[in-house]
Amino acid sequence: MSNKDYNDIPGTTIFDGDMARKGYWVNQFCMSLVKPDNRARFLADEATYLDEWQITAEQRTAVLKRDYNTLLSLGGNVYFFSKLFFTDEKSFEACAAQMAGMSQPDYRAMMINGGRAVAGNRSTRVEDR
Partner 1 sequence: MAKITAGISTSHVPALGVAMDHGNTEDEYWAPLFKGYEHSRQWMQENTPDVVVLVYNDHASAFSLELIPTFAIGCAEQFAIADEGWGPRPVPAVEGHPELAWHIAQSAIEDEFDMTIVNRMPVDHGLTVPLSMLFGQPKSWPCQVIPIAVNVVVYPPPSGRRCYHLGQAIGRAVESFAPDVDVQVWGTGGMSHQLQGPRAGLINQAFDQAFMNDLVANPELLMHKPHIEYLREAGSEGVELVMWLIMRGALGPHAKELYRFYHVPASNTAVGHMILQSA
Q: Which residues bind partner 1 (CB under 8 A)?
A: 5-6, 9-17, 20, 24, 27-28, 30-31, 33-36, 39, 68-69, 72, 77-80, 82-87, 89, 91-93, 96-97, 99-101, 107, 110-112, 114-118, 121-123
Q: Are 49 and 41 contacting, i.e. CB atoms less than 8 angstroms apart?
A: yes
Shortest Cβ 52–partner 1 spacing (Å): 16
Beta carbon nearer to partner 1, 6 or 64 = 6
Burial class (CB in 10 A: 0-12, 13-18, 19+), 62: buried
Of the chain, the end-to-end C-alpha distance in Å amounts to 25
What is the C-alpha separation between 38 and 64, in angstroms, rounded?
Answer: 16
Q: Are 30 and 80 contacting, i.e. CB atoms less than 8 angstroms apart?
A: yes
Q: How many CB atoms lie within 10 A of CB 123?
A: 14
Shortest Cβ 66–partner 1 spacing (Å): 14
Beta carbon nearer to partner 1, 27 or 59 = 27
Q: Rounded to the nearest 5 degrees, what angle is found at the Cα of 43, between the Cα atoms of 22 and 76?
A: 15
Shortest Cβ 40–partner 1 spacing (Å): 12
Shortest Cβ 15–partner 1 spacing (Å): 6
Beta carbon nearer to partner 1, 9 or 50 = 9
Beta carbon nearer to partner 1, 65 or 122 = 122
